[in-house]
Amino acid sequence: MFTGIITDIGEVLETRLDGDLRARIATGYDVAGIELGASIACDGICLTVVASGRAPRPWFEVQISGETLARTNIGETGWPAGRRLNLERALKVGDELGGHIVSGHVDGVARLIAMEDEGASTRMRFEAPEALARFIAPKGSVALNGTSLTVNEVEGAHFGVNVIPHTKAVTTWGEMAPGDAVNLEVDTMARYVARLREWD
């Protein structure tokens, strides 16, 4: 489980096929404290650490299944060397819940369709897949590329969020442009409420 509060920006060093796709990601985390089998959210995708090392700089490797490729923006755009990723380590008991509960199980891919500066912040508008749009509500939460964000408005499959300067500075959101595909995880509570209503 995660909170959607990004704690590091990683950089893809390489990807290779080894049964599944494997990615080596440089990190600012102390890799001595990352056990094999640990979960790290990489652009919102919960991935399992299968190797780590310290040279030429700290890195960890993750294995990416075909199912993950099909549901995320990795399959659409790939992770080329140099790609920067929002990282978050899994929650530990006693950690502060600063965002919202995020599973790291990406539901689908949304697309950034417009962005406009409003003061120091940036208002971004996205288009969600039709099947996921019903789970997105004004003033509700979404995780986009692993970042917990509050929904400002919803109109059909379109929704908007505001990204403040701090968020742009400590994540990859300052690098986004219209047309970019982002990993979307809808709020877990909204998903379960909708499922319960199907039984009414």
Show the tokens assigned to 83: 């790609």
> What was the pLDDT predicted at 200?
62
At residue 136, φ and ψ (nearest 5 deg) are -105, 125
> What was the pLDDT predicted at 66?
92
The answer on 124 and 155 residing in a single domain is: yes
Residue (of 77, 184, 85, 167) closest to 127 by Cα position: 184
Give how far the C-alpha of residue 132 lies from the chain's centroid of Cα atoms, to the nearest Å.
16
pLDDT range class, residue 121, cuts 50, 70, 90: very high
In the chain, pLDDT over 90 holds for what percent of residues? 83
> What was the pLDDT predicted at 124?
98
CATH label of the domain that carries residue 181 = 2.40.30.20
Write the single-letter amino acid at 122. Answer: T
The answer on 149 and 85 residing in a single domain is: no
* pTM beyond cutoff 0.85: yes
Show the tokens assigned to 190: 């909204």
The answer on 84 and 124 residing in a single domain is: no
Q: Provide mean pLDDT across the span 8-12.
A: 98
Which residues constitute the domain of residue 67? 8-89
Lowest mean pLDDT among 47-56, 66-75, 80-89, 183-192: 183-192
Task: Give the model confidence (pLDDT) of 62-89 as tens digits.
Answer: 999 999 999 999 987 779 999 999 999 9
pLDDT range class, residue 169, cuts 50, 70, 90: very high
Q: Provide mean pLDDT across the span 99-120.
A: 95
CB–CB of 184/76 below 8 Å? no
> What was the pLDDT predicted at 195?
66
Which residue reads 């939460």 in tokens? 141
The answer on 83 and 12 residing in a single domain is: yes
Show the tokens assigned to 16: 């290779």
Which residue reads 């039984």 in tokens? 199
Write the single-letter amino acid at 119. Answer: G
CB–CB of 88/146 below 8 Å? yes
Give the gyration radius of the chain's Cα atoms: 17
